[in-house]
């Protein structure tokens, strides 16, 4: 194994100072396995321990082996490389990914499950795009709620992202949708799922519980008026 240390120093004109962004990294510390061409072949996933480092390098080696087989025409290996490229974040276009997957042969059950997990992630990013790209303050809630509406349908079909960050994005948008629609059961369910996953974010939940109380009060007032 070759040990490579890169330090972003923000020194003007320094060679490769912006390398992190070039390889698609956006945070520090960023730990990856690379092949001899400098392509990222595995990402650090989980704790930064010796076992974690070993697992990353093993995954990188597997990627290279699968790629070699794929280059020789092995269809299972082609699918495997495709899945791993999705995990590495190299395939960002949901429509193109879906088309490419439709043409794949000999996809195993396990591969199908892993592909679906990645497609859910791409779909979540796709649905959130209008909200993320929006620069108008007045539209923030409307766009977030619109994403939440789509996510609620995905949730009902069991299409839920597993990774921490997209999971949070997913149910936060459902919360906004439920708040806008004054849908108390959906709000409560999304809040419960978020609390189970992120027990430390109590400030966020305190604020959301106040929203829930307000929704319940408004509902009670509506009943009185009738």
Cα-based distances in Å from 171 to 124, 134, 190: 11, 19, 6
Judge contact between 186 and 177, C-beta under 8 A.
yes
Q: Which of residues 68-127 bind other proteins (CB under 8 A)?
A: none
Quote the least distance from Cβ 5 to other proteins, whole Å. 4
Judge contact between 171 and 194, C-beta under 8 A.
yes
What x-and-dash track marks residues 27-46 binding other proteins by CB under 8 A? -xxxxxxxxxxx--x-----
Number of neighbours of residue 26 by Cβ within 10 angstroms: 7
Applying CB under 8 A, which part among 5-13, 132-140, 158-166, 188-196 lies near other proteins?
5-13
State phi, psi for 43 to the nearest 5 degrees: -110, 155
- The distance of Cα 73 from the centroid of its chain, to the nearest Å, equals 30
Which CB, 8 or 134, lies closer to other proteins? 8
- For the purposes of burial, counting CB atoms within 10 Å of the CB of 161, is it exposed (0-12), middle (13-18) or buried (19 or more)? buried
Q: Which of 52, 55, 61, 149 binds other proteins (CB under 8 A)?
A: 61
Q: Which of 49, 50, 52, 64 binds other proteins (CB under 8 A)?
A: 64
CA dihedral (44, 49, 53, 59) in degrees, to 10, reads -60
Quote the least distance from Cβ 61 to other proteins, whole Å. 6
User: Under the criterion CB under 8 A, does residue 8 sit at the interface with other proteins?
Assistant: yes
User: Under the criterion CB under 8 A, does residue 5 sit at the interface with other proteins?
Assistant: yes
Three-state SS for 43? strand
Query: Residue count at the site for other proteins (CB under 8 A)?
Result: 35
Which CB, 11 or 103, lies closer to other proteins? 11
Quote the least distance from Cβ 37 to other proteins, whole Å. 7
Query: Max Cα separation, the chain?
Result: 73
User: Under the criterion CB under 8 A, does residue 182 sit at the interface with other proteins?
Assistant: no
Cα-based distances in Å from 103 to 25, 82, 93, 185: 30, 12, 16, 41
Q: Which of 1, 50, 102, 103 binds other proteins (CB under 8 A)?
A: 1
Judge contact between 66 and 93, C-beta under 8 A.
no
User: Under the criterion CB under 8 A, does residue 206 sit at the interface with other proteins?
Assistant: no
Quote the least distance from Cβ 26 to other proteins, whole Å. 10
Quote the least distance from Cβ 35 to other proteins, whole Å. 6
List residues near other proteins by CB under 8 A: 1-12, 15-16, 19-20, 25, 28-38, 41, 53, 56-57, 60-61, 64
């Amino acid at each position: 194994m070759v040990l490579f240390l890169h330090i972003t120093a923000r020194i003007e004109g320094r060679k490769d100072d912006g390398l992190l962004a070039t390889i698609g990294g956006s945070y520090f510390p960023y730990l990856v396995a690379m092949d001899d061409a400098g392509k990222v072949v595995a990402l650090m996933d989980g704790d930064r321990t010796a076992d974690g480092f070993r697992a990353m390098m093993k995954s990188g080696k597997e990627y290279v082996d699968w790629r070699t087989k794929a280059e020789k025409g092995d269809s299972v290996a082609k699918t495997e490389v495709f899945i791993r490229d999705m995990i590495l974040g190299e395939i960002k276009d949901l429509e193109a990914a879906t088309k490419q997957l439709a043409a794949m042969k000999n996809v195993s059950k396990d591969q199908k499950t892993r592909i679906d997990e990645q497609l859910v992630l791409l779909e979540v990013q796709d649905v959130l795009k209008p909200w993320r790209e929006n620069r108008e303050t007045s539209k923030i809630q409307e766009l977030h709620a619109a994403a939440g509406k789509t996510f609620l349908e995905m949730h009902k079909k069991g299409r839920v992202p597993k990774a921490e960050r997209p999971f949070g994005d997913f149910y936060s948008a459902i919360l906004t949708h439920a708040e806008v629609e004054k849908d108390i059961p959906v709000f409560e369910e999304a809040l419960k799922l978020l609390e189970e996953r992120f027990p430390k974010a109590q400030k966020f939940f305190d604020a959301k519980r106040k929203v829930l109380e307000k929704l319940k009060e408004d509902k009670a007032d509506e009943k009185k008026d009738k």
